[in-house]
Amino acid sequence: MEKRVSSIEVVPVPLEQQPVLANLLELYIHDFSEFHPVEIGADGRYGYPRLPLYWSDPNRYPFLIYSDRILAGFALVHRTSDAQAGKLVWDMAEFFVLRSHRRQGIGMHAALRVFHCFPGLWQVRVMQSNLSAQHFWSEAIFAFAGRAIQPLRFTHGGDGWQRFSFESSSAFGSIPD
Per-residue pLDDT reduced to its tens digit, 111-125? 999 999 998 999 999
pLDDT for the residue 3: 53
Bridge partners of 166, per DSSP, are: 122
pLDDT for the residue 90: 94
- The segments of the chain whose pLDDT lies below 70 read 1-6, 83-85, 170-177
Per-residue pLDDT reduced to its tens digit, 83-102? 666 789 899 999 999 988 88
End-to-end, the C-alpha distance of the chain in Å comes to 26
Distance CA 112, CA 75 (A): 11
pLDDT for the residue 162: 85
Q: Give the CATH fold of the 8-168 domain.
A: Aminopeptidase (3.40.630)
Distance CA 89, CA 74 (A): 20
Closest CA to 136 of 73, 68, 48: 73
Helix, strand, or coil (residue 51)? coil
- Amino acid residing at 105: G
- Amino acid residing at 161: W
Please state the domain extents for the chain.
8-168
pLDDT for the residue 85: 63
* 8 A C-beta contact, residue 109 and residue 68: no
